[in-house]
Amino acid sequence: MKPNVRYTFAFAGATIAGVYLHEMGHAVAGWLQGIAVVPTPAKEYILQSHVAWNQQIWISLGGPVGTTVAVIGAMLYFLRSRRTAADAVLLGSLLPLCLYTLRFVLVGRGHDGLEWQAAQTALGRAPTGHAIDVFFLCLCLAGLALWGSRLHFPLRYSLLKFAGLAIAGVILLVVLQAGNNRLFDGHFPATRLTNAPQGLDPR
């Protein structure tokens, strides 16, 4: 397999794996509470008609934990390996994280719905705060700085490659999410959240 093809597959695989680890984090947090949760490639499904806020906060927190594990694992792999694939794996794992950060910068919250606010509550923080957003921003910048420490020259080529991968990665994530919803949404029941605090912002 040609190096560029291997690099592209490593990047795409790391991106998809990072999203799945996020969903696995949700699922594991549910399982630990005795709640049946099915993780799919881009979404988790709770197999009950209602879930209480004091249960949802931990399920929500599992997602950011899964993302953090994926990124830190990729950073450690990058530090320990000189293979070109390590570069692609790091960038792929950073893409979902950096998109959360970009959404935070543009919209004011890194995740839509109540996921981040529930996760904040699990951490003992104000649900309307931005501790997770700020943590992800710092982790994103640290990951990009680590990747930048091994930039290849000429610099313009490396930055063009980065831009191309970012665009391709966003397209991959959109296709993954849309395909996942189309394939699985009709097979799992909708779950209603109960006892949620008033005044939460679902943007």
Least Cα distance to 21 among 89, 108, 102 occurs for 89
The mean of the pLDDT values for the chain is 93
- Tokens 């910068």 belong to which residue? 105
pLDDT tens digit sequence for 111-147:
999 999 999 999 999 998 999 999 999 999 999 999 9
Within 10 angstroms of residue 96's Cβ, the number of other Cβ atoms is 23
Q: If you average pLDDT over residues 8-22, what whole number do you get?
A: 96
- What three-state secondary structure class fits 51? strand
Terminal Cα-to-Cα distance of the chain (whole angstroms): 44
Strand partners, 38: 45
More confident residue, 61 or 203: 61
Predicted confidence (pLDDT) per residue in 30-77, tens digit: 999 999 999 999 999 999 999 999 999 999 999 999 999 999 999 999
The DSSP secondary-structure symbol of 38 reads E
Q: Which residues contact 196 (CB under 8 A, 6 or more apart)?
A: 53, 56, 114
Chain-centroid distance of CA 39 in Å reads 13
* pTM exceeds 0.75, yes or no: yes
d(CA 184, CA 188): 7
**Residue at token pair 């795409």:** 12
Residue appearing with tokens 């931990």: 58
